[in-house]
Amino acid sequence: MAVWSCLSPACCREDGEKEQRKQRRPYEPPPKTKRATGRDDQKKGNKRGSFSRVAVLDPSSSSSSTTLSEDLSVSLAGTNLWAFTLKELKVATQSFSSCSFLGEGGFGPVHKGFVDDRLRPGLKAQPVAVKLLDLDGEQGHREWLAEVTFLGHLRHPHLVKLIGYCCEEEHRLLVYEYMPRGSLDNQLFSRFSVPLPWGTRMKIALGAAKGLAFLHEAKKPVIYRDFKASNILLDSDYTAKLSDFGLAKDGPEGDETHASTQIMGTKGYVAPEYIMTGHLTTMSDVYSFGVVLLELLTGRMCMDKSRPQREQNLAEWAGRMLKNPRKVSRIMDPRLEGQYSEKGAQKVAELAFKCLSNRPKQRPMMHAVVETLEPLLEYNDVFVGPFVYIVPADDLHKDPKNEGKQEELKKRSSHNRSRIHSHDHHHQYYHENRHHRHHSQP
């Protein structure tokens, strides 16, 4: 008999889940599909699951992948998600060829592809990113299912758009809109990337803040739980969109003050009270947002073992200087070369300081963060230094337009040499006459 449950805490992997994935146990058909609700859980005296929008099969139960796919189709009805076949996604990505490979994360490899109505009638022609679940990777079926259910039901300009999914035998794939600028992580920390201008950084911070605010203030609040630079994707005009909802969890409702769950997240971004107690609230996301603000200010990663011991944890090192306007300039990203708004930087530093407070109740709500960031886009006190370009002499010789300038340079050079020669001749004559007069005197 199948065991049914809500998507359980934290999409956290239980002990032995990796082994279960390796064994690839089939799913067993459920007796009846039922929409799970927090109220039902409370009646039974159970803790509410992390996602109450759709009931899902427990990975330890057994059922056919066909049945799971059918259940998903019913649960996701009205979400406009496409249920792709593995064959279709192979066509879209040229059989997941190396030339379409974009990168790899904890979920698995990501390939670029293209879909249109030739693949499926009515499908919009567009580039896509196809993410494959690595069966032996860091994440599993729970995370995949959380991604499908959250992004299937949530739509916002600052959340990455999920186009469809594939659930075929043991294969689990997700199809997203393609984000040409990649992640903030790559744009901010890659050696080969062009430094992000101050205005672009503020645009990214505001977009990400709007995405978080939407999740926190949804009809059923969502705690993102894995807010970090690598999960912020950028489109062609640097509009920020949140991706990777594998660790997302329903927020507390009613009289509840927090959600209790196994601690999950990325070191350096996780709120201290969550680490100590396992109590998860929207303020946990606000702390993580404060860390990303620091990364945008400093151009440093939240954890960097290559730096001196006292500077390895960004929040601990920079946090002490955020309240002092004079010290803010010391932590600013040197790649900005001073071209940023001083007033804006101080405002961002103050905001980061509040977000990183050790007292969760003193941190601002995300809608207040958005209100603080919006005016910063209008600050125009950005210093832009002079740019001087010196034309190489060789280029000056080659360009026929510069022949007149070259002749003028020659005349000036000749004139200067004649003046120097005249001066030297006069200097020599003066000394010779002086020497002669000195020896002719009695």
Residue-wise pLDDT for 253-262, tens only, equals: 666 666 667 7
Residue 226: active-site member: yes
Q: Which CATH number fits domain 182-378: 3.10.440.10, 1.10.510.10, 3.40.190.10, 3.10.200.10?
A: 1.10.510.10
Q: Looking up tokens 């070369």, which residue turns up?
A: 337
Buried b (16+ CB within 10 A) or exposed e, 7-17: bbbbbbbeeee
Kindly report, residue by residue over 26-55, the tens digit of the pLDDT: 323 333 333 333 334 333 333 333 334 443
pLDDT digits (tens, 9 = 90+) for 292-340: 999 999 999 999 999 999 999 999 999 889 989 889 999 999 999 999 9
High-pLDDT (> 70) share of the chain, %:
66
Alpha carbon of 406 to those of 392, 393, 410: distances in Å? 13, 10, 6
Angle among Cα 67, 68, 73 to the nearest 5 degrees reads: 95
Which residues contact residue 430 at a Cβ distance below 8 angstroms, ignoring those fewer than 6 apart?
none
The domain ranges of the chain are 4-177, 182-378
Superfamily name with CATH number, domain 4-177: Phosphorylase Kinase; domain 1 (3.30.200.20)
Q: Give the whole-angstrom CA distance, residue 363 versus residue 368.
A: 10
Nearest alpha-carbon partner for 294 in 327, 322, 254: 322
Helix orientation angle between 282-298 and 366-373, rounded to the nearest 10 degrees: 30
Tens digits of residue pLDDT in 56-98? 344 444 445 566 666 666 667 667 899 999 999 999 999 999 9
Q: Which of 58, 71, 226, 244 is catalytic?
A: 226
User: DSSP string spanning 170-225?
Assistant: TEEEEEEE--TTEEHHHHHH-TTSPPPPHHHHHHHHHHHHHHHHHHHTSSS-EE--
Indicate the burial class of 406 (C-beta count within 10 angstroms; 0-12, 13-18, 19 or more): middle
The pTM of this model reads 0.72
Strand partners, 109: 104
